[in-house]
Amino acid sequence: MAAWTGVPVLPPALYIAGEQDLGANLPGSRELIANLRALVHHLKETLLLSGCGHWTQQERPVEVNTALIEFLKTLSA
């Protein structure tokens, strides 16, 4: 992975995570999530689902699908 250290992510992106997901709560994770635009230049939205764990699409299907559809609409504009 060393060759990719610091290389920005250039495609349009959407970040969805559950607030209770272990990965979103590791030391430094919240700061990284808050500053994702520094690495993901075309980040459209960061969505942290309150009360949700790791399996966002199973725990919050309506919210996840709505966010995905809205994101995809921005790509066809």
Token pair for 27? 């030391």
pTM attached to this predicted model: 0.86
Confidence of residue 57 (pLDDT cuts 50, 70, 90): very high
Confidence of residue 77 (pLDDT cuts 50, 70, 90): low
**Residue 76 clears pLDDT 90, i.e. is over it:** no
Confidence of residue 50 (pLDDT cuts 50, 70, 90): very high
pLDDT mean across residues, the chain: 94
Residue 77 or residue 40, greater confidence: 40
